[in-house]
Amino acid sequence: MKKIFPTCISNENILFLRAKLITGYYIVDILRWLNYKISNKFKKDKGIIGKLIEFYLIGNKQNNFSNQDIPHLGIEIKTITIDINNKIINDSFICSLPLINKNNLFFYQSKLYNKLSKILWIPIIIKNINTPILMRKIGHPFFWIPSINEKKKLHDDWDNLMKLLILGKIKYINFYNGYILLVKNKGNKKQLTKTINNIGEIISVIPKSLYLKKKFLYSLIKKNKNFIK
């Protein structure tokens, strides 16, 4: 792919300006600008839109499993797919849930907190779920920093999950449905990770990931009503 901007971003205003420049354009336009060649795997890659938007904004990035997409600014970049009736299409993946590393039990030291400290949301507007990827429209970007109340709810969700993990109640972690967070399996039965059950045995389970719930995401877009105009 062809890089459009310098990788170095000195401040968030430059990042936001880059995001605003693509408002109203379609994914097919991004592909043209990046000189991206569509392969047979294109439609099967669920994260392809996010990858394209990130590459447009910041170019190649280093491994960011723990850090934000732009660590020196403390900003994560996320897309949020919405239909023309303001319906959120998917829960939003944030990061993996550690199942055996108990050194990061505290919320404010967690990968989750790091990822959610500040997010630049890029709305992706569709007519319905059958809208082709290439014809999905880019909406107005907006920044989000968790409020005090949101941080409290996130903290409560995290603490509830860590209690289950410490007690080895792994089956209760599956599809945890909290105030803001949701837990889902990430991977398949062939991709297993280790954890400890309630009697201290090391067992193999499907990896888990943390998502922001659609209901919560809808509350965010209600505060940013001009994102589709």
**CA 92 to CA 181: how far, in whole Å?**
10
| Dihedral Cα 202, 206, 208, 211, nearest 10 deg | -170
Domain that holds residue 66: 12-228
What is the model's pLDDT at position 98? 85
What is the model's pLDDT at position 118? 96
What is the model's pLDDT at position 125? 95
What is the model's pLDDT at position 41? 67
pLDDT at 54 over 80: yes
What is the model's pLDDT at position 15? 95
What is the model's pLDDT at position 200? 83
**CA 115 to CA 78: how far, in whole Å?**
10
Task: Map tokens 């900003």 to a residue.
Answer: 75
What is the model's pLDDT at position 196? 85
Task: Let me know if residue 2 belongs to a domain.
Answer: no
CA 225 vs CA 45, 60, 72: distances in Å: 29, 31, 29
Counted residue by residue, the chain has a size of: 229
Task: Let me know if residue 95 belongs to a domain.
Answer: yes
Summarize the confidence of residues 34-43 as an average pLDDT. Answer: 75
Task: Let me know if residue 121 belongs to a domain.
Answer: yes
What is the model's pLDDT at position 62? 61
Q: What CATH number is attached to the domain comprising 194?
A: 3.40.600.10
The tens digit of pLDDT for each residue in 94-147 reads: 999 888 766 567 899 899 999 999 999 999 999 998 999 999 999 999 999 999
Task: Map tokens 């959610």 to a residue.
Answer: 116
Task: Let me know if residue 182 belongs to a domain.
Answer: yes
The tens digit of pLDDT for each residue in 150-183 reads: 999 999 999 999 999 888 888 888 878 899 999 9
CB 13 within 8 A of CB 121: no
The tens digit of pLDDT for each residue in 179-205 reads: 999 999 887 667 888 888 888 888 888
User: In sequence order, what E strands does the chain have?
Assistant: 76-83, 92-97, 119-126, 137-138, 142-144, 181-185, 193-196, 202-205, 208-212
Task: Let me know if residue 146 belongs to a domain.
Answer: yes
The tens digit of pLDDT for each residue in 58-83 reads: 887 665 556 789 998 999 999 999 99
Give the count of domains, the chain: 1
Task: Let me know if residue 211 belongs to a domain.
Answer: yes
Task: Let me know if residue 7 belongs to a domain.
Answer: no
CA 31 vs CA 28, 36, 193: distances in Å: 5, 5, 36
pLDDT at 44 over 80: no
Task: Let me know if residue 5 belongs to a domain.
Answer: no
**pTM reported for the whole predicted model:** 0.90
CB 184 within 8 A of CB 209: yes
